[in-house]
Structure 1
Amino acid sequence: MKIKSIASIVLVATSAALGLAASNLTPVHTGASIAPPTAAATKVKIGVSIPAADHGWTAGVVWWAKECSALHPEIDWTIVTAESPEKQIEQIEALMAQKVDGLVILATESAPLTPIAEEAHNRGILIVNVDRGFLKPCADIFIEGDNKAFGRKSATFMVEKLGGKGKAKGDIIILEGIPCTVNTDRVSAAMEVFKSEPGIKVVGQQAANWNRQKALEVTETLLTKNPKVTAIWASDDDMALGAEQALTEKGISGVWILGGAGMKDIIKRVMEKDPMFPADITYPPSMIATGMELASSVLVGGKRAEKLQYIPKHLMIDVDLVTPENAKQYYFAKSIY
């Protein structure tokens, strides 16, 4: 079952507290002081495994995870971040050894994280998968943004700006992200749109891993081979900024960029009608908090199996096209991202 928008999940839990078992991971403890534990009241333990804050969007993910954990002192949270799939697997193994009741996982990459997620699921640990999907159906709940709509809406906007359906013309560069279901869905949906327009030619396409520095390097290389591009489909705001820097350093003007994910700096420039960034696509990092809320609602108070009967296994968040006309409603000056 797919849901195109998710209402706020309000949880009232009455579990008493129990200290976190010793481990080599750093737990995130939140809330006021708690009464001494009793044998009859054991805290639910949930591990949150996410990529390190190596670019703007994942920094937003980490921030939202900490914000959500602070709302639930009745839960024993352990939040860990990883720079690589190998490190993330190691951390999840450690969380499993701590006997967590649930895991909320945003994978560094889909393929290498699937086996460990499957193992945890087979051990009876609740698995909530956020954003980058596993390659097997081993999650109890999967929440993601609509990445096919992300690719389709962004590509359709580019077609319109390049002349309109059936009339669009231009040479474009495509920047891809980390190998995972998110990137696959975005790129494949965008390519369907571009391939239907004979006047649009993809003159360069390469992964830049949603990283600004990598996007700078990749874009410089692609521009060396094809300096007369019309536009860049960057698929991510960090990569868009890297591509912009490459254009500046090469002294190339008149090229515009479409990124994505709703970085406040980009939204502000869309709002101000900066010709470099005529639009953007939303993709909220707060989805990690939604996953955490789902995990807590299932695990706190027991009756897990009964609750899972009415919670959808697949929830999908809408993505919106941001233009100068509506950008103000998507701009949050105090946001970390």
Structure 2
Amino acid sequence: MKLIKRMLALGAVSMAALAAAPATAQKNDKLTLGVAIPAATHSFTAGIVWWANQAKKELEKQHPNLEIIVKTAGGAPQQANQLQDLVTVNKINALVIFPFESAALTQPVAQVKNKGVYVTVVDRGLTDTSAQDAYVAGDNTAFGKLPAEYLVKRLNGKGNIVALRGIPTTLDNERMDAFQSVIKQHPGIKLLDAKYGNWNRDDAFKVMQDYLTRFKHIDAVWAADDDMAVGVLRAIEQAKRNDIQIVFGGAGAKGMVKTLIDGKNKLIEANVSYSPKFMYDAIKLTAEARLKGEKLPATTIIPSVLITKENARQFYFPDSPF
């Protein structure tokens, strides 16, 4: 009799737990997940688009009750409009967004979240974190810190550096703050200027041309993206400058890593990892959690590490678009 009473009590507890569980993300519900990302305007975002579509193809095959809708945008206004369509037309109940810009997308994302949509923000964080449920990114602090430490050591604590930033975003701020925090500890290193190159080869080429005109002696360049590093190298070559000892890019693009492996350009000595595969990881983590009715940790950071000739082959993926 006691055993029967105990079983009935356990059953009552189970029923109460089920009643308290959220009704919007139970295991058998259909999940419509929107993915909002920048268009493939340069190699890194080409990698983002490629990995997003890989996630769609693989995850929809694995989960019949999952639909993933991928939208690419050429600018912040277009991405904001796409968010409205994803909610009103596609009726999404989860969103994974790589914001085109941080400030411009914060309010549009907040509006999506306020309509009950679960929001995972990737890489370029929002200016107000209350607009998101989860954040997935590479280690932007290490992305700025590791190059600074390498350049300081490479220049023996003395020299002139110029920097090229990306697009005004929280992650760019994190990288620049980390870079400067190291540089400030070494009075013999002078950061001559740091301008936005927009993670773009042509823009970086123009910024570097300006630096080469204004500064008669530059020892090193930190181009915080491998696409920008390509533009920087072209400007240096055209100017026929031989004072620059090293150009440090970032993110481990396959062309730059191959150059590092082959040793074909004396200005390329090191890099720092930051793979666009985290787009795939963020979509997979979000989809599988929501299908189970679960949430992600508030923040998931994927480590960035120093790439040199000695370990470069570990970071070389010739079949990837990035």
Give me the TM-score of the superposition, normalised by structure 2.
0.87
Q: Please state if 1:91 is matched with 2:82.
A: yes
* Aligned with 1:262 (options 252, 264, 268): 252
Q: Secondary structure at the match of 1:280?
A: strand
Cross-structure match for 2:114: 122
* Aligned with 1:60 (options 37, 47, 58): 47
Deviates more, 1:71-80 or 1:95-104: 71-80
Q: Please state if 1:243 is matched with 2:232.
A: yes
Measure, in 1, the Cα distance between the counterparts of 2:299 and 2:213.
Answer: 43
Measure, in 1, the Cα distance between the counterparts of 2:233 and 2:51.
Answer: 28
Cross-structure match for 1:327: 312
Q: Structure 2 counterpart of 1:247, which letter?
A: I
Q: Please state if 1:222 is matched with 2:211.
A: yes
Give how far 1:201 is off. Answer: 1.1
Give how far 1:299 is off. Answer: 2.3
1:72-131 deviation line (CA, Å, top 9, x unaligned): 222211111111110100001110112101110000100010111111111110101000
1:247-288 deviation line (CA, Å, top 9, x unaligned): 011111252200100101111111223321100000010111
Q: Please state if 1:150 is matched with 2:143.
A: yes
Q: Secondary structure at the match of 1:196?
A: coil
Larger Rg: 2
Q: What are the equivalent positions in structure 2 for 1:18-57 lying under 5 Å apart?
A: 43-57=30-44
Q: Secondary structure at the match of 2:211?
A: helix
Q: Structure 2 counterpart of 1:226, which letter?
A: F
Give how far 1:297 is off. Answer: 0.9
Cross-structure match for 1:135: 127
Q: Structure 2 counterpart of 1:300, which letter?
A: L
Give how far 1:151 is off. Answer: 0.6
Cross-structure match for 1:295: 286
Q: Please state if 1:104 is matched with 2:93.
A: no
Q: Structure 2 counterpart of 1:276, which letter?
A: L
Measure, in 1, the Cα distance between the counterparts of 2:38 and 2:216.
Answer: 34
Q: Secondary structure at the match of 1:262?
A: coil
Q: Structure 1: which 5+ runs fail to align?
A: 1-40
**Please, what is the CA RMSD of the aligned residues?**
1.2
Give me the TM-score of the superposition, normalised by structure 1.
0.83
Partners of 1:60 and 1:285 within 8 A in 2: yes
Q: Structure 1 counterpart of 2:268, which letter?
A: F
Structure with more helix by fraction: 2
Measure, in 2, the Cα distance between the counterparts of 1:59 and 1:141.
Answer: 24
Measure, in 2, the Cα distance between the counterparts of 1:114 and 1:194.
Answer: 31
Which consecutive segments of 4 or more residues in structure 1 shift more than 4 A?
none
1:214-249 deviation line (CA, Å, top 9, x unaligned): 000111011100132111011110000110011011
Q: Structure 1 counterpart of 2:154, which letter?
A: K
Measure, in 2, the Cα distance between the counterparts of 1:254 and 1:67.
Answer: 44
Q: How many pairs align?
A: 287
Q: Structure 2 counterpart of 1:135, which letter?
A: T
Give how far 1:211 is off. Answer: 0.5
Measure, in 1, the Cα distance between the counterparts of 2:86 and 2:269.
Answer: 44
Measure, in 2, the Cα distance between the counterparts of 1:150 and 1:143.
Answer: 15
Partners of 1:101 and 1:299 within 8 A in 2: no
Q: Structure 2: which 5+ runs fail to align?
A: 1-27
Partners of 1:127 and 1:139 within 8 A in 2: yes
Measure, in 1, the Cα distance between the counterparts of 2:318 and 2:112.
Answer: 39
Percent identity, aligned pairs only? Answer: 35
Partners of 2:163 and 2:221 within 8 A in 1: yes
* Aligned with 1:253 (options 235, 242, 248): 242
